[in-house]
Each structure stands twice: as structure tokens, then as C-alpha cells.
Amino acid sequence: MAERTLIIIKPDGIHRHLAGEIIRRFEKKGFKLAAAKFMQVSEELARQLYAVHQSKPFFEGLVKYLSSAPVLVTVWQAQGVIDMTRRMMGATFGYDAEPGTIRGDFGCSKGYNLVHGSDSPESAEQEIKLFFRPDEIIDYELADVDWLYGKND
């Protein structure tokens, strides 16, 4: 099965009306949308998602940020999707992120950076489980799959 990743449009992405724009980029790239949920994240769930950062000075602020307003949680599927989405998101801080990336095009803040994306297959698997039951992830074939991936590479 092709790789999957968890992408969250964070609270600033929703408040700044950028959810559609961010989804559009992943959709047009050719990734398959496998699951989506619009929800308010509890502080407890935010702590679980960001557990690797619990000793960092920004942790409490990060938990407050993610749980402060609704988010759009999505799962995308494609071969190599983790690396591609990370590169499309850009560097962590908006002011460092290259133009052409999501963070580089739409933000200049440090912590408010619009989007979360899993950074490895192991974290993707754990993170997807935090937000979705197995039956909420839809397995289907895209109609244009032959054109997307080509037969000559």
C-alpha cells in the first residue's frame, strides 16, 4: 500500500481562510485524500500529537495554539507522500520557509505556521491513529491513477 501521512490545517489556517488553498495544493499535486475531519482538538490530544516536544519551552504554547480553534485533519496517500508534503509545507518557521511553499507563501510567524505534517512513516502511523479509526480511512482508486504515475518511468 502507498504511504500515508497526517496533514492538519491548524487554527490559523482556518481563521485565515487558507484551508481550501492548502488542500488544493495537495489535491493538484495528485495525492489521494483518504480521510478528513473538521474538529476542535482537546488539549489532551494536542499533548499526545506533540509528545516529542514536551520538554521544549514552546510546548505549552503549542498545545494552546492547536486546541484554540477548529482544525481540519486529513490523511493523504501516495508513494513518497511524506517527503513531498514536507517539502511543499516548507521550513518550520514562516520567515525561513522558501517562497513557493505553503508556509513560505502564506505566513511570516514563528509558531503559527498553518499546517502540520507527519515527518516519518513511523510518526505518520502513530499520528493517524490518534485521529482516525481504521474504518474512517477510505481505500479507493483514483480515476486518473494511470495518468498520474505514468507507465514510462
Q: Which residues bind ligand IDP (CB under 6 A)?
A: 53, 58, 62, 92, 110-111, 113, 116, 119
Per-residue 3-state assignment (H helix, E strand, C coil) for 106-147: HCCCCCCCCEEECCCHHHHHHHHHHHCCHHHCCCCCCCCHHH
**Least Å distance between CB 65 and ligand IDP?**
7
Q: How far apart are CA 82 and CA 65, in angstroms?
A: 24
| First CA to last CA distance, the chain | 19
Pattern of binders to Mg ion over 91-130, x per CB under 5 A? Answer: ----------------------------x-----------
CB of residue 124 to ligand IDP, shortest distance in Å: 12
Alpha helices in the chain (DSSP H): 11-15, 19-29, 43-49, 59-67, 81-89, 102-106, 121-131, 145-149
Contact present, 96 and 2 (Cβ < 8 Å): no
Q: Which is nearer to ligand IDP, 37 or 87 (CB)?
A: 87
Angle among Cα 29, 31, 34 to the nearest 5 degrees reads 150
User: Which of the following is catalytic: 15, 17, 53, 116?
Assistant: 116
Least distance (Å) between residue 152 CB and ligand IDP: 34
Residue 53: active-site member? no
Kind and range of the H or E run holding 18: none
Nearest to ligand IDP of 40, 92 (CB atom)? 92
Question: Which of Mg ion, ligand IDP, none does 87 bind, CB closer than 5 to 8 A by kind?
Answer: none
Which residue number, 95 or 147, has a Cβ lying nearer to ligand IDP? 95
CB of 115 to Mg ion, least distance (A): 11
**Residue closest to Mg ion when measured from CB atoms:** 119
What's the CA gap between 51 and 90, in Å, rounded? 22
Task: Show which residues are catalytic.
Answer: 116
The residues that touch Mg ion, with contacts defined as CB under 5 A, are 119
